Chains A and B, each alone.
Chain A
Amino acid sequence: MRRSKIKYLSTGNEACGEGALRAGCRFYAGYPITPQNELTAYMSRRMEEENGTFIQAESELAAINMVFGASVAGARAMTSSSSPGISLKQEGISYIAGAELPAVIVNIMRGGPGLGNIAASQSDYFQATKGGGHGDYRSIVLAPATVQEMFDFTYDAFSLADKYRNPVMILADGMLGQMMEPLAFDDNIKPSGIIPKPWALTGAEGRKPLSAKSLRLGSGKNSLERHNERLQEKYKNIERSEIKTELYKTDDAAKIIVAYGSPGRIGRSCVDTMRDDGDAIGLVRLKTLWPFPYAEIRKLAERGCEFLVVEMSAGQMVEDVRLAVQDDNKVSFYGRMGGGIPEEEVIIKKLKNRG
């Protein structure tokens, strides 16, 4: 992975790790779980090479709280896990959001509920985009669909986290974590979006002590309600600025597949196959799940498009698509659960049968 100009054959997990390192992440704490183990293993080796800190924590709770600590001291910090482990981290993520600290959390999703299995899934969409932990907070959620995007989005996640002092989650299914694909990047790439962190707890010599916490018992302008209002203002700002969507052949499309991650790849192939048959099909592939592209999808709906949402879940993102479209007759759904992968033939059949 060290020299560039050539392409590497890399797993998504390792591309994610390298993307973090290239963004200047020098603190990683994690606890092993399939299907994200290649990422933890990669960090254990590479952090040592880069003089960073790698900690195999005693638990997922410990790992997310170590990230809290590293972040509050000003470091670019990351943790990763897979679905059951991410559930355990929710308390810490809520605290990080409440204390307004940057952090990157990677969820390489596997089948649930419970310990489920180790196959790829997308059934943590609700958890990732609607809070997950307690309280009125949001995490920025990025959804890569290729090994290249596992690198690129993780690299970008650190600038976003610093810019908004907010947790950023990389949400990818287990297939994207474990699969290999060519990866290319500039070997001289430097961390981007580095900004001063005057809030960081770096030792109070020569200045007034600072504090970073999520407990707010004050009143007036220090009250929890005022704090929440400020957070909501920040979230609105993120919704205005950070939505990223790939529109593929949607210009003249009558029917549109909406998907992210691995189903996004499969959806794209369906579009190509059906276009060869003369069907006016397009794809909306979400790169950010929160903020969600409500306006973009609504615009397509107003033009008269119908939508097929494809997910590796019982139907989670489809609820946001329905909110955007505001006409349930125009939105249908195809999902697989527990490790099933949506099949191209089924998607095409569903699109042909509708209307």
Chain B
Amino acid sequence: MDKVNESIISAGFGGQGVMVLGKFFAIAGMLHEFKVTWLPSYGAEVRGGTAHSYVRISSNTIANPAVFNPDTAIVMNAPSLDKFEKRVKSGGLLILNSSMAVGKPKRNDIKIIEAPLTDEAIKIGNVKIANIITAGIYASRKRIFEKDILKNVIKTMLRTREELVSVNLRALELGMEIGKE
């Protein structure tokens, strides 16, 4: 495989699963034998506050786990759109949950994929899985992950909550559908 050097910021309200989403990417990267780091960032208060996680996935040793200008920003709410749209690298990717992030992105030098992800998540049966839909979108755009391994990550992460596996697998599939060019 080509050299990989990816940085991702996942941002939203506490409870939208942006920390778990970052872990999903990090575990997936690790299982693909890349170097990975994950770093959380949140205020002293969590639930309802804004939070984000930084992930790096690289063929090389990773220096700084914090990310200022990401290759990809996954934005789940409006405050995070204000904060992170401007920080995406030129030519980068912005995945936007338009159910929650009301307001229009302004950049025209980055790729923007916008979808009502919270509504989509409710439609397939669980409001909490909008994060995994974004993982599917990311996977279909970046092509650094094998689908079977991503499915295994879901099963591994939910090994004590098996009843949630199938809905998460559906979310991943849906995301990959939405992300198709």
* A239: Cβ under 8 A from any B Cβ: no
Knowing A9-B38, A180-B37, A182-B36 touch, does A266 contact B27 (C-beta < 8 A)?
Answer: no
A265 B62 Cβ-Cβ under 8 A: yes
Q: Write the B27-40 contact mask toward A (1 if CB under 8 angstroms, else 0).
A: 10010000111111
List B residues 35-59 near A (Cβ within 8 Å): 35-40, 44
Q: How far is the CB of A146 from chain B (nearest CB, A)?
A: 9
A180 B38 Cβ-Cβ under 8 A: yes
In the assembly, what is the distance between CA of A268 and CA of B37, in Å? 16
* A34: Cβ under 8 A from any B Cβ: yes
In the assembly, what is the distance between CA of A158 and CA of B146, in Å? 42
Interface pick from B63-71, B91-99, B106-114, B122-130: B63-71
In the assembly, what is the distance between CA of A265 and CA of B64, in Å? 7
* B160: Cβ under 8 A from any A Cβ: no
Knowing A118-B44, A178-B39, A182-B36 touch, does A9 contact B63 (C-beta < 8 A)?
Answer: no
Q: Which residues of A contact B65 (CB under 8 A)?
A: 175, 179, 181
Partner of B64, one of A7, A178, A180, A262: A262
Q: How far is the CB of A144 from chain B (nearest CB, A)?
A: 14
Q: Which residues of B contact A181 (CB under 8 A)?
A: 36-38, 62, 65
Q: How far is the CB of B82 from chain A (nearest CB, A)?
A: 21
List B residues 3-32 near A (Cβ within 8 Å): 23, 26-27, 30
Partner of A9, one of B26, B40, B62: B26
Query: Helix, strand, loop or mixed for chain B's interface?
Result: mixed
In the assembly, what is the distance between CA of A182 and CA of B66, in Å? 16
A269 B61 Cβ-Cβ under 8 A: yes
Partner of A179, one of B39, B60, B61: B39
In the assembly, what is the distance between CA of A178 and CA of B65, in Å? 10
List B residues 102-150 near A (Cβ within 8 Å): none
In the assembly, what is the distance between CA of A262 and CA of B37, in Å? 13
Q: Which residues of B contact A182 (CB under 8 A)?
A: 30, 35-36
B44 A180 Cβ-Cβ under 8 A: no
Q: Which residues of A contact B62 (CB under 8 A)?
A: 181, 265
In the complex, what residue of chain A is closest to B38 when comparing beta carbons?
A: A180
B39 A341 Cβ-Cβ under 8 A: no
Q: How far is the CB of A222 from chain B (nearest CB, A)?
A: 50
Q: How far is the CB of B145 from chain A (nearest CB, A)?
A: 15
List B residues 73-109 near A (Cβ within 8 Å): none
A178 B37 Cβ-Cβ under 8 A: no
Partner of B63, one of A34, A178, A180, A268: A268
Partner of A344, one of B26, B30, B64: B64
Q: Which residues of A contact B39 (CB under 8 A)?
A: 175, 178-180
Q: How far is the CB of B68 from chain A (nearest CB, A)?
A: 8
List A residues 83-137 near B (Cβ within 8 Å): 118
Partner of B26, one of A34, A180, A268, A341: A180
In the assembly, what is the distance between CA of A179 and CA of B66, in Å? 9
In the assembly, what is the distance between CA of A182 and CA of B62, in Å? 12
Q: Which residues of A contact B66 (CB under 8 A)?
A: 175, 341
In the complex, what residue of chain A is closest to B55 when comparing beta carbons?
A: A180
In the assembly, what is the distance between CA of A120 and CA of B39, in Å? 12
Q: How far is the CB of B34 from chain A (nearest CB, A)?
A: 10
Partner of B30, one of A9, A118, A178, A262: A9
In the assembly, what is the distance between CA of A175 and CA of B63, in Å? 12
In the assembly, what is the distance between CA of A265 and CA of B26, in Å? 19
B36 A179 Cβ-Cβ under 8 A: no
Q: How far is the CB of B42 from chain A (nearest CB, A)?
A: 9
In the complex, what residue of chain B is closest to A147 when comparing beta carbons?
A: B37
A178 B36 Cβ-Cβ under 8 A: no
In the complex, what residue of chain A is closest to B34 when comparing beta carbons?
A: A182
Q: Which residues of A contact B (CB under 8 A)?
A: 7, 9, 34, 118, 175, 178-182, 262, 265-266, 268-270, 272, 341, 344
4 further interface pairs, Cβ-Cβ under 8 Å (given A179-B38, A344-B63)? A7-B30, A9-B38, A265-B64, A269-B63
Interchain Cβ contacts under 8 Å between A and B, 26 examples:
A7-B30, A9-B23, A175-B65, A175-B66, A179-B37, A179-B38, A179-B39, A179-B65, A180-B23, A180-B26, A180-B36, A180-B38, A180-B39, A181-B36, A181-B37, A181-B65, A182-B30, A182-B36, A265-B64, A268-B61, A268-B63, A269-B64, A272-B60, A341-B64, A341-B66, A344-B63
